[in-house]
Amino acid sequence: MTEPIRPHPKNVDGPFYVEYGCCTACDVPMQEAPNHFAYDADNHCYVCRQPQTAAETTDMIGMAWITEFQCIRYRGNDPNVLRRFAELDLRDICDVEPPRHIAPIIRNHVKFTIANPPTVATPQQLADEFIKHLNSQSNEWRQFKTTPIHTPADSASLEFSWYDDHFHPIVFDAVPGAPGVWHIYYPLTNDLGDHGVGNVISFWLSRNPGRFTEIRWYSDTDWQGAKIGQSTRI
């Protein structure tokens, strides 16, 4: 018989919570969403503040997605949040079952506008800016590594890792006929790292709202079919 899921007793009231006895003190929530998580005296994390805005809800969904043991759960019934968890293939962390017709999806293409186009004229310059961002984010818990930039045709590509030497490819190019509009994508490898690559890109773009605007995320199918895309990846 399956043991019932117990929320940590210090979780604040609201839809997101940490399962009691699940936390391994990985420190990822504290690094990525420090305003929403705290530790108890036994170094077990819990939700100390529920999201108040759409952006904070996205952050919490992202946290539930990237933490290794899926200790962060959702007990709410917001149809949009349930849909997003179903698209992330995270039905098991929802106390309320998402609709069965919603299939998992990975949005691995992003199109965006740079507010000051003259500072980025080539895909290589954009790739250089991304590398500088990664270097600024390295710390004692996570060390980014990058390979040299390759510039075939009208694009730039590199590989980066945040765990040992487990590298993931990423490609930068300009959107034809749209000055100042750029496109980044990463090939899907059917690896758990597919999720992490998107998280890193999304964090970079979303934390620079004055510079990166009109952000739209697409799956392979949506991009190839020239669909509209959506403003958040998850």
CA 122, chain centre distance (Å): 25
Cα dihedral across residues 227, 201, 147, 149: positive or negative: positive
Report pLDDT for 203.
84
| Structural tokens at position 108 | 């691995």
Q: List phi, psi (to 5°) of 137.
A: -95, -10
pLDDT for the residue numbered 192 = 65
Residue-wise DSSP of 137-155: H--SS---EEPPPB--TTE
Counting the structural domains of the chain, the total is: 2
Whether this prediction's pTM lies above 0.85 is answered by no
Q: For position 138, what pLDDT does the model report?
A: 83
Residue 211: Cβ-neighbour burial (10 angstroms; 0-12, 13-18, 19+): middle
Pair type for strands 72-74 and 45-47 = unpaired
Query: Is residue 68 assigned to a domain?
Result: yes
Residues 132 and 191 in one domain: yes
Domain with 139, as residue range(s), is: 109-224
Domain holding 214: CATH number?
3.30.310
Q: Would 102 be classed as within a structural domain?
A: no
How does DSSP classify residue 207?
T
Q: Which residues of the chain have pLDDT under 50?
A: 1
- Measure the CA–CA gap between 211 and 126, rounded to whole angstroms: 12
206 and 141 inside one domain: yes
Beta bridge partners of 170: 158
CA-to-CA separations, 32 to 64, 74, 157, in angstroms, rounded: 11, 18, 26
Cα radius of gyration (the chain) = 19
